[in-house]
Amino acid sequence: MATDVILKNANVITMNPAQPRAELVAISGDSIFHVGGNDEVDRLTGRFTKVIDCAGKTLVPGFHDAHLHLFSLIRKLTSLDLSPAKVRSIADIKEAIRKVATSKPPGAWINGTDYNEFYLEGKHCPTRWDLDEAAPNHPVVISHRSLHACVLNSKALELAGITNETPEPDGARIERDLATGEPNGVLIGMLNFVRSHVMPRFTEDELIEGAALADEYFLSHGITSFQEATMRNDIGRWETLCDLKLNADLLSRVTMMAGADFWGDFKERGMRTGTGDNLMQLGAVKIMLEIEPEQEELNKLALDIHTAGYQLAFHAVDERTVASAVTALEYVNPHSSVAGRRHRIEHCGECHPSLLERIKKLGLVIVTQPAFIYYSGERYLATVPGSQLPWLYRIKAPLEKGVVVAGSSDAPVVSANPLMGIYAAVTRQAESGQTLLPEECISVDQALALYTVNAAYSSFEEKVKGSIAPDMLADVVILNDDLTCVPPEKIKDIKVEMTMIGGEVVWEA
């Protein structure tokens, strides 16, 4: 076996129970072929071997984010950041928009994200007229941190066809000037409409530029694999992603879920869960429970998709929707066994013990987002009803029951940094300092498993990903500290120093 790369002098955390720690990793081609000790360097080194001295630093399997939204992340990374860290007033927002406007041709969209009037001087929301002053010749949309509200300038309102005469849409609101009835630009619950029906899709150049930013973002956080979990994923999205992979615009390995509305198109092309290769494969069929039909229809849909050979991923946050997903799979099971099919509950925000029992029986995988605890813990404690609080984003209870829990970020909802997720799973500390269900804290090893072996299990890839062992893909990350030794509160400050995919160094600090 020709050794292409040796990583030596490393504190290797393998996630392989047969050999938990090691010092050396030997790579041939895109895979690991030996894991052992420093005394083996000479024996394994050939004329063309590249030897990397890790200087005692910690080496872990490449991180795997089991649920995120690449295209929204690209949107965010290519947008103007209007978060409280960047702007303090409406004047600051105007100035930031004015600057962007000078670099874009008239008519090109300007997209700002994460404004939050609570942190602005005077605590007012900007209006269309503020945005008009900054960019009269460009359509402008800025979105609120919660994604619940957005503000459009006059050009953008015109393109959206929103005028004095526009009636109030169902379940949404157009804010109006009290005296004249004229829309003031603030739209509630209409951001998705604006993004998917008013704004143009990415141009080729924007997409490539955005993918490069996303790529850098993933690799700098050690994310060597991710799963794209968007409901809008259709054949076009699949082709776009394949192109990005083919042109090496995106180096992390991708599993793309198919939106439930489009699964028939994938079926027609003979594509099933697992179609593709270890760079880019088709994942589960994603069902969004909030917008999905009654239980009976859901049961039939689940049975159809299951029988056709696909993995299912149910977006289910609250107890009612989690129960509905479980009920659908209990309906499927007697018709066609769900054992071994690894159907997934995405989020599973509220999980009562009786529900957990049913999840265990069906062999389901829970795909959780520990960093929500950090970023939203304060809000959960203030708003989640007391009866549900004990079951919120549980991780230890399902693990103890033998349910596989995979880790993810739901980025761009929160940061995709896996070390932030691991920190949150270990401490369950909110940014505010409050602790959310301390009895659900897990060990560092368990938390690391969420983002490595367990995430690989959730996409049927544990034989090639998630641990450092012979025959695994050579996807590894060097960290500047050992997460199993530092005090838990320091885990979130650990930085990635090097990321390797398939035996190639793809990123270095």
Min dist CB 69 to Zn ion, Å, is: 6
> 410 or 440, CB closer to Zn ion?
410
Min dist CB 345 to Zn ion, Å, is: 12
In whole angstroms, give the CA distance from residue 406 to residue 458. Answer: 7
What residues from 228 to 267 belong to the interface with Zn ion (CB under 5 A)? 229
> 93 or 229, CB closer to Zn ion?
229
Min dist CB 191 to Zn ion, Å, is: 15
Min dist CB 373 to Zn ion, Å, is: 16
CB distance 111 to 119 below 8 Å: no
Burial category of 209 from C-beta neighbours within 10 Å (exposed 0-12, middle 13-18, buried 19 and up): middle
Burial category of 108 from C-beta neighbours within 10 Å (exposed 0-12, middle 13-18, buried 19 and up): middle
> 94 or 195, CB closer to Zn ion?
195
SS3 content of the chain, % helix, strand, coil (to 5): 35, 25, 40
The residues, ordered by sequence, that sit 6+ positions from 235 with a Cβ below 8 Å of its Cβ are 262, 265, 266, 269
What residues from 404 to 443 belong to the interface with Zn ion (CB under 5 A)? 410
> 229 or 395, CB closer to Zn ion?
229
Question: What is the number of the residue whose Cβ is closest to Zn ion?
Answer: 410
Min dist CB 475 to Zn ion, Å, is: 23
Min dist CB 347 to Zn ion, Å, is: 7
Min dist CB 173 to Zn ion, Å, is: 24
What residues from 212 to 231 belong to the interface with Zn ion (CB under 5 A)? 229
Q: Containing H/E element for 95? A: helix 90-103
> 8 or 76, CB closer to Zn ion?
76
> 159 or 317, CB closer to Zn ion?
317
Min dist CB 143 to Zn ion, Å, is: 16
> 185 or 412, CB closer to Zn ion?
412
Task: Quickly list DSSP for 485-501.
Answer: TS-GGGGGG--EEEEEE
CB distance 499 to 219 below 8 Å: yes
> 229 or 478, CB closer to Zn ion?
229
Tell me how many helices (H) and strands (E) the chain has.
17, 24
CB distance 315 to 286 below 8 Å: yes
Min dist CB 146 to Zn ion, Å, is: 15
CB distance 30 to 502 below 8 Å: yes
Dig out the tokens for 324 from the structure: 């509905």
Min dist CB 346 to Zn ion, Å, is: 6
> 185 or 418, CB closer to Zn ion?
418
CB distance 64 to 448 below 8 Å: no
Query: If binding means CB under 5 A, how many residues of this protein chain bind Zn ion?
Result: 2
Min dist CB 324 to Zn ion, Å, is: 17
Contact call for residue 475 and Zn ion (CB under 5 A): no
296-332: b (≥16 Cβ within 10 Å) or e: eebbebbbebbeeebbbbbbbbbbebbbbbbebbebb
SS3 246: helix
Dig out the tokens for 240 from the structure: 């776009």
CB distance 145 to 83 below 8 Å: yes
Burial category of 39 from C-beta neighbours within 10 Å (exposed 0-12, middle 13-18, buried 19 and up): exposed
> 79 or 230, CB closer to Zn ion?
230
Q: What angle do CA 295, 238, 113 make, to 5 degrees?
A: 80
Task: Give the single-character DSSP code of 276.
Answer: B
Min dist CB 343 to Zn ion, Å, is: 17
The residues, ordered by sequence, that sit 6+ positions from 86 with a Cβ below 8 Å of its Cβ are 92, 96
> 28 or 415, CB closer to Zn ion?
415
> 128 or 347, CB closer to Zn ion?
347
Binding range to Zn ion, per CB under 5 A, among 40-48, 138-146, 246-254, 403-411: 403-411
Helix ranges (H only) for 347-493 are 353-362, 371-383, 396-401, 418-427, 444-450, 453-458
Residues forming the site for Zn ion (CB under 5 A): 229, 410
